[in-house]
Chain A
Amino acid sequence: MSVAGLAAAVCQTALVVVVAPFVVGLMRWVRARLEGRAGPPLTQPWRDIRKQMAKERIVPATASWVFTLAPLVLVATAVVATGIVPFLTTRSGLDEIGDLFALVYMLLLGTVFLALAGLDPGTAFGGMGSSREMTIAAVAEPTILVAIFALSVTAGSSNLSAIVTSTLDHPSTVASPETMLAFAALAVVTLAETGRLPVDNPSTHLELTMIHEAMILEYSGPDLALVELAAHMRLVVFLGLLSNLFVPWGIATTTHPLELLAAAGAVCAKIAVLGIVIATFEVFVAKVRLFRVPELLAASFVLAFLAVTASFYLA
């Protein structure tokens, strides 16, 4: 692990922290425009976070240390994830401390803490949200890991930089059936894991239909700001994964500052495009019933499974 690599990792984290709320703002704006509304400015998520930061912190009387710790753990898992995912460079200093599996389990750690925090205040809504969140997380797990399997077969390693470098070296693999199937599978899982339509509606205000919002109902002030920021960052982590694992061009292969700057522009553009696509998609679909979500994820699992077997049978 070099100093330059560590610096690059810090740059990645800083970039994601700054950009993530803007990406969410962009997605909200696009959706509003397509629905015929004026839409909030792109800075609205950041303004919300700033407002929440200044407010009083109200903690339910029945809550324990888990409630206080959960937002911090959630943010920390997202921060470490941004250091591991190759946003800017394949030479990130944190690449070798964890591979894709470690990344997935790290994000699951955040999910678990948030689900525990949902149960902690003792409301029905919190429990409902936690229960649903863990249901979806559990059912999405096979798709994610089998999709990683498919990706690591091509690269011969499950380390992220190895996968990205392998795609850069052999551009033709992007068009191969296994890569495309794995992309489709991961795209569905991204919608489920980041609480987007058709799995969860990020803009609803009816607790009974919500998952993420129901879990965090009792958070206020800076805690709420942290939870929201972490949710934004997780969205960008998934979008960054999708874009750089499958279309890595533009990423730096060194830690030279100028290259990093160019890579930052490239990755922001890719993430923005993906965000706009998802926002557009959300305008046209309705939320599915909770008990149809496992069917959706089962379908994505079949795609991931085909991706792995395709790499054997078509090799």
Chain B
Amino acid sequence: MTAAGVGLTAASVAAGLAMVAAIAAPRRLRVAAVGGLTAASAAAGLVAALAVLTGSGTVAATMPDLLPLAGVRIELDALGAVFVVAVAVVAIPAALYGIGYAAPRSTGHGASGRSVQATLPLFVWSLLMVPAAGSVSTLLVLWELMALSSLLLVVADHRHNPAVRSAAHWYAAMTQLGLVAILLALVVLAGQAGGDSFAAIRDGAAGVGPHARSVVFVLALVGFGSKAGVVPLHVWLPRAHPEAPSHVSALMSGAMVKLGVYGIVRVGWDLLGGGPRWWGLTILVVGAVSALFGILHALVATDLKRLLAYSTTENVGLILIGVGAAGLFAASGNRALASVAVAAALLHVVNHAAFKGLLFLGAGSVLHATGTRDLDRLGGLARRMPVTGATFAIGALAIAALPPLNGFVSEWLLLQALVHSLPSSTALVAVAMPVAVAIVALTGGLAAATFVKAFGTGFLAMPRSPEADAAHESPWSMRIGLCLLAGVCVALGLAPTALGRPLTRAVAVLGPLADGRPVRADGVNLELAGIQATLSPLLLAVGLLAAIFATLAVVRAVRSAPTRRGAATWGCGRSVQTARMEYTATSFAEPLQRVFDDVLRPDLDVHVDHRVESRYYVEAVRYRQGIRDAVEHRLYEPVLRAGRWWGRTARHLQDGSIHRYLAYIMVALVVALVVAR
């Protein structure tokens, strides 16, 4: 058995042990045992994935007796391994974090119960195994296992929080509708290509007619897209992610939504072997809309976890821009560029797992310490929770794509791929690419504003509520989770050159998009296939650090008597500075909200009460602002209303009157007699 096979087996065994421990272990030990074993399971998965990515052997195993009719086929290639790495990068810290987060003493969460603790390892295991599925039936079973276990985890807190139920309804409906689409896509594909295993489908895909291919592609895009949270199928995401326990949110946002991307890429460019130009263009448009829509809603969100959830939609959008551009380039015959674009997308999958996992865990620590997720009630946490504050800052800088952290590297790769498309191309590409670059740029700028808001109002300045004032640092296991992920963000940012070969192997799986080595490392410089641009994140970081220390040294040398004095903030002559005078998250986002008024359409409600004596004297002003998700409001609510109307109307048919029932029988009999004749 290869190293990868051992890894996957160990991951399954550890996950099984964790489930046993969840049920059998006493309450005091349960959370620690489950957390440790789940982390071990994810670590074993990581070992397997790294073994595949470094080329020391793939895994392929068939277990015909495990599942009736089709059997189970496990096959982990380099493409799947990238996604396993993304899962493991979140799952190891999240599982450790869960030890402190779900501990019985912390009130308000039903996360330490037997059923929730037993579901967590199952969820992590299914996340690890979905990319390793080697046949249609295996993928579907694992996919459904992943969906159901995550649903159970979302409802963990349903006793204390009624919002959880509504979130769970949305999530259950969307994920099951998505499954229907995936099921149809894969069944049609397997039927047309004449086989259940992926290998058989690959062989038979060439014989599938163009219409069937397109039907499969569109169904897969809808089904997997609903899991990935792309607009307009994202509505479950900003509801379910905030209500789940925070380490589960991290897993869902950092890992699970990526498997939607995995499905699209696997079906579109591996199993079907690529398609016409409109495939790429469709994904590009979906990605661009998701990126912009997601970040705009993240910008105006004041609920920290809702903000992060919308930002997940944005990042999936960026990943899909890469995938779509790759499809477009490949269909236009520029395979070198396609390979760079898809490498950028895959790198962003791993990067986003690291920083979004980190940010969700940070938000969990804030929730744990203050009991609130409302940015307008937070503040001053950087001084009260130094580790959480510093790690959240790293995550915020990374997700804003700022050098020298990891988000910047994948954004740079994506921009390079988009920018170098122009000299030899068609009019479609010449117009689509500047628009795509502009959207990536605007998204990046808005993301910077969003995370300045999130960190600046959540962690800096004075606390805006007594809860925030009384905040305390999290227990050690939670801090370990945060520090691990912050370390990953820094390491991936400084040494992306180490990822050249693994990315090449992963891209090579996608036949129509692959062309040699998309990302090469020349010493410390990143070099791209067919593109004359270089980047050295490590040297940039060294330069920044050197400049910081040089500046410090100069200031020290110049100043004869360095003095430092703390003083009250200057208040234009006021004597007391209170938190009421601070800018809040809402006020911070107000200018941009006004700029993008037409997209966000905020509901504003201003009430001015005048004194009875004169209209020129104001008694009181009340201001209320709410921003609804336009897609949910315009697209889903009419459908739901129609469904409810239909239900109410149908109820009139059955009102308990025996006469009416006799009439139904009579009519039915007459109709039956007429039809039967």
Contact = CB atoms under 8 A, between A and B. Distances in A.
Interface of A: 53-54, 56-66, 72-73, 75-77, 79-80, 83, 94, 96-99, 101-102, 105-106, 108-109, 111-112, 115-116, 119-124, 126-128, 130-132, 134-135, 137-142, 144-146, 148-149, 152-153, 156-159, 162, 217-218, 222, 226, 290-291, 294, 301, 304-305, 308-309, 311-313, 315
Interface of B: 379-380, 382-383, 389, 393, 397, 400-403, 408, 411-412, 415-416, 418-420, 422-423, 425, 427, 430-431, 433-435, 437-442, 444-446, 448-449, 452-453, 455-457, 459-462, 525, 531-536, 539-540, 543-545, 547-548, 550-552, 555, 558-560, 562-571, 577, 579, 581-583, 587-592, 594-595
Nearest to A78: B547
Nearest to B580: A124
B551 A148 contact: no
- Which 5 pairs of residues, A with B, have the shortest CB-CB distance? A127-B583, A141-B445, A138-B445, A122-B461, A76-B547
A75 B590 CA distance: 29
Nearest to A155: B532
Contacts of B592: 134-135, 138-139
A145 B637 CA distance: 38
B497 to A, nearest CB: 12
Contacts of B594: 291
B402 A109 contact: yes
Contact of B567 (A54, A59, A315): A59
Nearest to A124: B581
Contact of A64 (B420, B448, B460, B544): B460
A65 to B, nearest CB: 7
Contacts of A56: 563-565
Contact of B438 (A112, A226, A301): A301
B412 A311 contact: no
A64 B558 contact: no
Contacts of A121: 461, 569
B641 to A, nearest CB: 36
B408 to A, nearest CB: 6
B228 to A, nearest CB: 25
Contacts of A83: 543
A144 B419 CA distance: 13
A76 B437 contact: no
Interface of chain B, main secondary structure:
helix
A127 B419 contact: no
Contacts of B431: 309
A159 B565 CA distance: 45
26 contacts: A54-B560, A57-B564, A64-B389, A73-B544, A80-B543, A102-B412, A119-B456, A120-B461, A121-B569, A122-B462, A122-B579, A127-B582, A130-B456, A130-B583, A131-B583, A131-B588, A134-B452, A134-B592, A135-B591, A137-B445, A141-B444, A142-B445, A145-B415, A152-B533, A158-B533, A226-B555
A291 B597 CA distance: 12
B547 A60 contact: no
Contact of B449 (A73, A135, A315): A135
Contact of B441 (A57, A116, A142, A309): A142
A123 B434 contact: no
A149 to B, nearest CB: 5
B535 A97 contact: yes
B63 to A, nearest CB: 48
Given A64-B382, A64-B459, A119-B583, 17 more contacts: A54-B560, A60-B568, A64-B383, A79-B551, A97-B536, A105-B408, A121-B461, A122-B379, A123-B569, A124-B582, A134-B449, A134-B452, A138-B448, A149-B433, A159-B533, A301-B438, A309-B430
B543 A153 contact: no
A143 B142 CA distance: 45
B407 to A, nearest CB: 10
Nearest to A117: B460
Nearest to B427: A312
B442 A131 contact: no
B564 A106 contact: no
